[in-house]
C-alpha cells in the first residue's frame, strides 16, 4: 500500500520506517526542512535502537522517502497516517492545533478516496472533529480511523513488529478492511471498535499502567516502614495470572512524553464531562511525591546538601532512549542545584537533550559512570541503564568521598559483596 505519514516525531518516524520495512511505499512529511534533509541522508533526530539501520536499508531500496510537501504526499497515498504531536496545554488538556492544521492540509489535498489513520493520542471525540475539519475542505470521499499507538520508546521496533493487539476504531466496513489488511502481517489480534472506544482505549491503557506504577511505589514506601521487600512482594503479586508481573517495578516514578501528559489529559477529559477522576489524580500526586523521596533520603543520610557533591547516574526518563521529557532527573537535579549542591552527572546518550532543558554552572557533565562518582558525597542512580549494573563498583566506592549509593531503580542486589562497600539505599527494600 502507499502511505503518507504526517509528522516525523517518535510515532511518525517509527511507523513510517516499520511500514516501509513491511514492503509498503512510504512517504513521511514534516514542516521542518532541516529535519527532512537529515532524514533523507539517513540521520535520525532520536536515539532508538535499530531504527537508523532499518531506515538506511529502506532508503536504499527506495521504499521510504521524506518531503515537506503535504499535498503531493497525500495525493499519492492510499492511507494517510496522522502522527503529529499533541502537547499539553497549561491546564493539562491536549493541544490539538497541530492536528487541526494537518487535517486541514489533508482536506485541501484530497483527490480521491483515502483512509485517514489517526495515530496521535487525541481526546475522545477528536476523530469526529478531524472528520469535520477535512470535510469542510473537500468533496472527495474519505474515512477517519482511530488506530492508537502502543509502542514504547527504547523498544519501539520490537513493539511495532510484535504488538499485543492492534485497535482499529471505525464504524465503516470499507475503511476497517483496508486498515486491517495493512496490519495483518503484524498480528491476528486486531480489535475493531467504534471510534470513541478506540480513543478511550489508548488513554485508559496508559492511565492504568501509570496507576500500577504509583500503586507499587506506595507499596514500596510502606514496605520500607514495615521491613518488607517490594521486589519480593511484586514477584509474589505478579505470579497471580489476574495481576501479571509487568509494570510492578518500584522506583522514583514514571516520566516520559506519554504517561505524565496522558494522565493529566484524561483527568481533564473526565472533568469536561463533570466527572472527578479521583483515583487518577492520586496516581499523579503519588508520582510527583516519589521523586522527592530521593531528596528526602539524601537529606536523611548526607544532611545539608549545600556545598556537597552529588553524582547522578542516568538522565533519560528510562533506559535505551535519549528522551528526558518529564524525566525524574530534571526535578531532582534542579532541586539539588537550588539547595546549593554540586552535581556530577553522566548518561550514556541523554546529556545533550538534558542540557537543552536545564544547565547550570554547578553541574559537571561527565563522560563515564566512574568519573561522575569521583569525590562525590553520594551517588544517585536515576535510570537503570544496563552499563550501570556492569560498572566496577569497588573502583567507584574508592573514588568517592563517602561511598553512599542511592539506587532509585533497585538495580543492585543489596546482599552482594560489591554493595557491602557502600552505605546503600534502594526503594522499598530492607536497607
Ligand atoms: C508508554 C506505554 O508503555 C506505551 O504503550 C505507549 O505507547 C507510550 O507510553 C505512548 O503513549 O506513546 P513509554 O513512555 O515509551 O511508553 O515508556 P514505558 O516503558 O511505558 O515507561 C514509562 C515510565 O514508567 C518510565 O519512566 C519508566 O521508568 C516507568 N516505569 C515503567 C516504572 O517506574 N516502573 C515500571 O514497572 C515500568
Q: Are 268 and 89 in contact (CB under 8 A)?
A: no
Nearest to 46 by CA among 342, 352, 336, 303: 352
Distance CA 36, CA 366 (A): 32
Fold matches, 2-193 and 259-425: yes
For domain 2-193, the CATH architecture is 3-Layer(aba) Sandwich (3.40)
Which pLDDT score, from 0 to 100, does residue 341 have? 98
What are the Cα distances from residue 371, in Å, to 62, 162, 332, 392? 44, 39, 20, 12
Q: Quick one: which H or E segment has residue 193?
A: strand 190-193
Based on the residue annotation, tell me whether 366 is a catalytic residue of this protein.
Answer: no
Distance CA 392, CA 418 (A): 8
Which pLDDT score, from 0 to 100, does residue 92 have? 82
Which pLDDT score, from 0 to 100, does residue 21 have? 97
Residue located nearest, by CA, to atom 5 of ligand 1: 150
Instruction: For 194-231, give the DSSP string.
Output: -HHHHHHHHHHHHHHHHHHHHHHHHHHHHHHHHT--HH
Q: Quick one: which H or E segment has residue 28?
A: strand 25-29
List the grid coordinates of 402. 563517602
Cα 340 to ligand 1 centre (Å): 32
Question: Please, what is the angle between helix 259-272 and helix 278-302, to 10°?
Answer: 140
Q: Answer yes or no: is the C-beta of 152 below 6 A from any ligand 1 atom.
A: yes
Query: Among the options 18, 28, 258, 380, which is catalytic?
Result: 258
Q: For cell 505470579, name the residue.
A: 239
Residue located nearest, by CA, to atom 9 of ligand 1: 258
Cα 186 to ligand 1 centre (Å): 22
118 is in an annotated binding site: no
Strands (E), 335-412: 342-346, 363-365, 378-381, 404-407
278 is in an annotated binding site: no
Sheet containing 166-169: which strands, arranged edge to edge? 64-67, 25-29, 2-6, 79-82, 114-118, 142-146, 166-169, 190-193
388 is in an annotated binding site: no
Which pLDDT score, from 0 to 100, does residue 72 have? 97
Instruction: For 54-65, give the DSSP string.
Output: HHHHHHHHTSEE
Weakly modelled stretches of the chain, pLDDT under 70? none
Residue located nearest, by CA, to atom 11 of ligand 1: 258
Q: Answer yes or no: is the C-beta of 209 below 6 A from any ligand 1 atom.
A: yes
The alpha carbons of the chain give a radius of gyration, in whole angstroms, of: 23
Which pLDDT score, from 0 to 100, does residue 93 have? 84
User: In this prediction, does ipTM exceed 0.90?
Assistant: yes
Instruction: For 327-353, give the DSSP string.
Output: -HHHHHHHHHHHTT-EEEEE-SS-HHH
Q: How many CA atoms lie within 13 A of 182 on its CB side?
A: 30
What are the Cα distances from residue 179, in Å, to 30, 33, 175, 319, 333? 23, 30, 6, 32, 45
Distance CA 286, CA 280 (A): 10
Which pLDDT score, from 0 to 100, does residue 88 have? 86
Q: Number of helices (H) and strands (E), helices first, in the chain?
A: 17, 14
119 is in an annotated binding site: no
Residue 252 φ then ψ, to 5°? -105, 20
145-190 confidence digits (pLDDT tens): 999 999 999 999 999 999 999 999 999 999 999 999 999 999 999 9
Q: For cell 469536561, name the residue.
A: 272
Which pLDDT score, from 0 to 100, does residue 155 have? 95
Q: Answer yes or no: is the C-beta of 287 below 6 A from any ligand 1 atom.
A: no
Mutate to test the pocket of ligand 1, among 165, 209, 215 (most ligand atoms within 8 A of CB): 209
Residue located nearest, by CA, to atom 2 of ligand 1: 152
Q: Count other Cβ atoms within 10 Å, centred on residue 338.
A: 11
Which pLDDT score, from 0 to 100, does residue 91 have? 87
Cα 57 to ligand 1 centre (Å): 29
Residue located nearest, by CA, to atom 18 of ligand 1: 152
Q: Answer yes or no: is the C-beta of 46 below 6 A from any ligand 1 atom.
A: no
250 is in an annotated binding site: yes
Nearest to 178 by CA among 134, 215, 143: 143
List the grid coordinates of 5. 505519514
Domain boundaries, the chain: 2-193, 259-425
Nearest ligand 1 atom to the CA of 206 is 2
| Class for the domain spanning 259-425 | alpha beta
Q: Answer yes or no: is the C-beta of 214 below 6 A from any ligand 1 atom.
A: no
Q: Answer yes or no: is the C-beta of 259 below 6 A from any ligand 1 atom.
A: yes
Question: pTM here?
Answer: 0.95
Nearest ligand 1 atom to the CA of 383 is 28
Strands (E), 382-426: 404-407, 423-425
Amino acid at each position: 500500500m502507499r502511505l503518507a505519514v504526517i509528522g516525523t516525531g517518535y510515532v511518525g518516524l517509527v511507523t513510517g520506517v516499520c511500514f516501509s520495512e513491511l514492503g509498503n511505499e512510504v512517504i513521511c512529511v514534516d514542516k521542518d526542512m532541516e529535519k527532512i534533509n537529515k532524514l533523507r541522508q539517513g540521520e535520525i533526530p532520536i536515539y532508538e535502537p535499530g531504527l537508523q539501520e532499518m531506515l538506511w536499508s529502506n532508503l536504499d531500496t527506495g521504499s521510504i522517502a521524506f518531503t515537506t510537501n503535504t499535498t503531493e504526499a497525500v495525493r499519492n497515498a492510499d492511507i494517510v497516517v496522522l502522527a503529529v504531536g499533541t502537547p499539553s496545554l497549561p491546564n493539562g488538556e491536549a493541544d490539538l492545533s497541530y492536528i487541526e492544521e494537518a487535517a486541514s492540509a489533508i482536506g485541501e489535498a484530497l483527490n480521491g478516496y483515502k483512509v485517514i489513520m489517526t495515530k496521535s493520542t487525541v481526546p475522545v471525540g477528536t476523530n469526529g472533529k478531524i472528520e469535520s475539519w477535512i470535510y469542510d475542505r473537500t468533496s472527495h470521499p474519505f474515512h477517519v480511523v482511530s488506530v492508537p499507538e502502543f509502542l514504547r520508546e527504547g523498544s519501539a521496533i520490537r513493539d511495532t513488529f510484535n504488538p499485543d493487539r492492534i485497535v482499529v476504531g471505525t464504524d465503516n466496513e470499507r475503511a476497517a478492511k483496508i486498515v486491517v489488511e495493512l496490519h495483518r502481517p503484524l498480528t491476528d489480534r486486531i480489535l475493531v471498535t467504534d471510534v470513541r472506544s478506540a480513543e478511550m482505549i489508548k488513554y485508559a491503557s496508559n492511565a492504568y499502567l501509570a496507576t500500577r506504577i504509583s500503586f507499587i511505589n506506595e507499596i514500596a514506601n510502606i514496605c520500607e516502614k514495615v521491613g518488607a521487600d517490594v521486589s519480593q512482594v511484586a514477584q509474589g503479586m505478579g505470579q497471580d495470572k489476574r495481576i501479571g508481573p509487568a509494570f510492578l517495578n518500584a522506583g522514583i516514578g514514571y516520566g516520559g512524553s506519554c504517561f505524565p501528559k496522558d494522565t493529566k489529559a484524561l483527568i481533564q477529559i473526565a472533568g469536561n464531562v463533570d466527572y472527578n477522576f479521583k483515583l487518577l489524580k492520586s496516581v499523579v500526586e503519588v508520582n510527583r511525591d516519589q521523586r522527592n523521596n530521593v531528596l528526602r533520603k539524601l537529606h536523611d543520610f548526607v544532611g545539608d546538601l549545600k556545598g556537597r557533591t552529588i553524582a547522578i547516574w542516568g538522565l533519560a526518563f528510562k533506559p535505551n532512549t535519549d528522551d528526558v521529557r518529564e524525566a525524574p532527573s530534571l526535578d531532582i537535579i534542579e532541586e539539588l542545584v537550588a539547595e546549593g549542591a554540586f552535581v556530577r552527572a553522566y548518561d550514556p546518550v541523554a546529556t545533550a537533550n538534558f542540557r537543552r532543558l536545564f544547565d547550570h554552572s554547578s553541574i559537571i557533565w561527565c563522560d563515564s559512570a566512574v568519573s561522575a562518582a569521583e569525590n562525590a558525597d553520594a551517588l544517585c542512580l536515576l535510570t537503570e541503564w544496563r552499563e550501570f549494573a556492569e560498572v566496577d563498583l569497588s573502583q567507584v566506592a574508592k573514588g568517592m568521598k563517602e561511598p553512599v549509593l542511592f539506587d532509585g531503580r533497585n538495580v543492585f542486589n543489596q546482599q552482594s559483596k560489591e554493595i557491602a562497600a557502600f552505605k546503600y539505599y534502594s526503594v522499598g527494600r530492607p536497607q
